[in-house]
């Protein structure tokens, strides 16, 4: 077959515009959004765009090599507040919707983020990282030179650790600063700090009457040892804090109803630890009573789709209707996400679900319509208008040049039966230039989590492997989201058990049903939990001729103490921690089975990965090399656990090239 379009390359993700954060204007006539790209300096930049719903062409609002995000319209629609790092760290800026230069409104030393307006437009509420003795009225932004000097001085000082949770993959080593909620008076240009507790405060919403702020956090004395997140309100006038939930679980994504009488929120009480499905709750502000609307549902609320080009956050709900008789949210179900609504009696309705990835939405009460963001396996992103009759109209034409230039493989959805009779969903990509009668090498991709979901979204890495001539298979073995509570919980305490046989059954199924796969040239790769499973596979079967393990787990005994989540994740997922059963943890560890490994293995790991620290890769490499196995270790400087998704572009390209090189060498 002759292709008129070229094959995908490792560098192609740098040519994409990734859309996020759609935000309706108050009158519903236009919407703002964020577009993230990789610039000529090989750095990410994010710009704000505005599109009138009567036109087909969005208008770019911000420019320069900075990250601008989180646009929020003032209630009168005349201004937009947003966050930008154009001054060096993320600060808040005001922009008139009719044009002109943006005005900087915060100069906080450690920046300011997540701005939102009060309903009357008099205040902007935001969060800032503050020390206990910081004064918000005299915050001064550092110069580039001052920031550099402070960083150099910090490197010379030892880190004194007193907290159990002293690091995180997202932020590195923590300091004593905490996220506090701050109020900005727009007219008087003054700041008021509303929270002061030695805890992180996550802004959620402001009440319609402007009297209280809703936030999430843990203000308990034993917060360092607890895996909970409660909801609280803080009274703006008195700064009095009221606790709304009872420390029974993790609660978030909270929002006031238009009248302020109710609060909707997501969360769960950890009945299945980290594998627990979210519930949708409504809290009565006057009575304090809580109602669960999702009692009879069996799917995950929110967006749990995995991809490698989804930069930027977007609202996924719950969002109140204008009459506060319904709630809207994104749900994760059978390899796709959709937009759902529910009334206060718990009656569920699908507003939009079309076997693709809805990654966010904005709701306009006046027209009762939505702007929704959609990604498909062959189209990275676009925005659509979903009107009150559920008619869908495309608003943007993102990445047109890229899509006209490259050949993308449309996945074939398949369902196969596991050894114990469970049905497992997966997808298969045929290689670029596919020809009937030819045999092709094969790569099995395994997702991380494990409580996440592969599905109908754009995935550059998958397309790249198909472009390199491989048949690509990706599946959702038990432990994945999208198939109900029993399914997502089934992997716990059984790592390397039925999840492993689910994957082997997938390979058996495609070899039996797709004659163009060369069974003598099988490869496997995965990251995080997928890296663990890659390690497990090569220690338990020699059917694969090449393997690439990424940011993996090899030894659960050491993982307990070195990972930012190890001290609880080990117990949650395996049923035991280091202090309870070392024998069991060793049995779960791929490192135990290294003598069985005959598959050439490439180990990829980020130097600054605090989720699955690089010592996991080091142990595996040393053991295999000591046994004179075929192994190679690639360490990525400065890279965290997020290397494949939001790491430095040049490191992401290097990573993809190493994967392709290894499979080309051995397959």
Closest CA to 563 of 641, 648, 448: 641
Active site residue 528: yes
Q: Name the 3-class secondary structure at 371.
A: strand
Catalytic residue among 528, 552, 640, 644: 528
**Residue in 598, 594, 615, 614 with CA at minimum distance from that of residue 606:** 614
CA angle 642, 648, 650 (to 5 degrees): 125
Characterize 470-493 residue by residue with b for buried, 16 or more Cβ atoms within 10 angstroms of its Cβ, and e for exposed.
bbbbbbbbbbbbbbbbebbbbbbe
**Choosing from 357, 460, 641, 658, which is the catalytic residue?**
641
Is 201 designated active site?
no
Element (H, E) at 580: none
CA-to-CA dists, residue 248 to 215, 251, 344, 435, 565, angstroms:
17, 9, 23, 57, 20
**Cβ distance 353 to 336 under 8 Å?**
yes
Q: CB under 8 Å to 579, separation ≥6 — which residues? A: none
Report the Cα 371 to chain-centroid distance in Å: 20
Q: Rounded to an integer, what distance in angstroms lies between the CA atom of residue 86 and that of residue 416?
A: 51
Query: What is the secondary structure of 121-140 as a DSSP string?
Result: SSEEEEEEEE-TT--GGG--
Separation of first and last alpha carbons in the chain? 22
Q: What is the dihedral of CA 573, 575, 579, 583, to 10 degrees?
A: -100
**Helix locations, 575-648, DSSP H:** 582-588, 615-626, 643-646
Known catalytic residues?
A: 528, 641
């Amino acid at each position: 077959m002759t292709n008129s379009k070229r094959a995908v390359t490792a560098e192609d993700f740098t040519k994409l515009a990734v859309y996020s954060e759609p935000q309706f204007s108050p009158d519903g006539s236009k919407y703002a959004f964020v577009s993230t790209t990789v610039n000529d300096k090989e750095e990410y930049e994010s710009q704000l765009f505005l599109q009138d719903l009567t036109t087909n062409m969005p208008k770019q609002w911000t420019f320069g090599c900075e990250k601008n995000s989180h646009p929020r319209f003032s209630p009168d629609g005349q201004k937009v507040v947003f966050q930008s790092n154009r001054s060096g760290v993320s600060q808040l800026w005001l922009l008139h919707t009719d044009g002109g230069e943006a005005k900087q409104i915060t100069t906080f030393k450690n920046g300011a983020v997540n701005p939102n307006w009060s309903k009357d437009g008099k205040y902007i509420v935001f969060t800032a990282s503050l020390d206990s003795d910081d004064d918000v009225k005299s915050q001064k932004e550092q110069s580039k030179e001052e920031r550099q000097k402070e960083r150099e001085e910090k490197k010379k000082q030892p880190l004194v650790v007193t907290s159990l949770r002293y690091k995180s993959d997202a932020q590195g080593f923590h300091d004593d600063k905490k996220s506090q909620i701050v109020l900005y008076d727009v007219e008087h240009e003054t700041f008021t700090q509303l929270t002061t507790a030695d805890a992180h405060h996550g802004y959620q919403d402001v009440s319609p009457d402007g009297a209280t702020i809703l936030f999430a956090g843990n203000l308990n004395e034993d917060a360092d040892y607890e895996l909970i997140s409660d909801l609280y309100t803080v009274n703006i006038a008195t700064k009095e804090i009221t606790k709304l939930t009872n420390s029974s679980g993790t609660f978030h994504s909270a929002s006031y109803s238009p009248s302020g009488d109710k609060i909707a929120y997501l969360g769960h009480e950890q009945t299945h630890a980290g594998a627990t499905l979210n519930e949708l709750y409504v809290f009565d502000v006057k009575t304090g009573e809580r109602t669960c609307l999702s009692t009879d549902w069996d799917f995950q609320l929110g967006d749990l789709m995995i991809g490698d080009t989804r930069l930027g956050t977007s609202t996924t709900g719950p969002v109140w209707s204008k009459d506060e008789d319904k709630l809207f949210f994104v749900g994760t179900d059978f390899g796709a996400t959709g937009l759902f609504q529910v009334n206060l009696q718990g009656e569920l309705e699908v507003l939009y679900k079309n076997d693709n990835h809805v990654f966010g939405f904005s709701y306009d009460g006046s027209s009762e319509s939505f702007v929704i963001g959609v990604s498909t396996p062959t189209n990275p992103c676009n925005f659509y208008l979903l009107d009150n009759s559920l008619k869908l109209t495309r608003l943007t034409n993102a990445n047109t040049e890229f899509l006209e230039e490259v050949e993308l493989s449309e996945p074939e959805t398949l369902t196969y039966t596991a050894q114990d009779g469970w049905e497992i969903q997966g997808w298969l990509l045929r290689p670029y230039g596919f020809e009937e009668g030819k045999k092709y090498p094969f790569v099995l991709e395994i997702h991380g989590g494990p409580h996440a979901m592969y599905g109908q979204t754009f995935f550059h890495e998958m397309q790249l492997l198909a472009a390199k001539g491989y048949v690509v298979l990706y599946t959702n073995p038990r432990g994945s989201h999208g198939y109900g509570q029993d399914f997502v919980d089934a992997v716990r305490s059984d790592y390397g058990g039925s999840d492993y046989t689910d994957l082997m059954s997938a390979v058996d199924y495609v070899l039996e049903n797709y004659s163009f796969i060369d069974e003598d040239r099988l490869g496997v790769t995965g990251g995080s939990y997928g890296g663990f499973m890659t390690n497990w596979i090569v220690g338990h079967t020699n059917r694969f001729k090449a393997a690439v393990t990424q940011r993996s787990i090899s030894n659960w005994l050491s993982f307990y103490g070195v990972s930012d989540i190890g001290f609880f994740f080990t117990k949650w997922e395996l049923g035991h921690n280091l202090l309870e059963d070392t024998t069991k943890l060793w049995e779960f560890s791929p490192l135990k089975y290294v003598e069985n490994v005959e598959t050439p293995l490439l180990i990829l790991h980020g130097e600054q990965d605090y989720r699955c620290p690089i010592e996991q890769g080091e142990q595996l490499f040393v053991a295999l090399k000591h046994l004179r196995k075929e192994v190679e270790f690639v360490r990525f400087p400065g890279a965290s656990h997020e290397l494949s998704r939001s790491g430095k572009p040049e490191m992401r390209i290097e990573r993809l090239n190493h994967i392709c090189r290894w499979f080309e060498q051995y397959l």
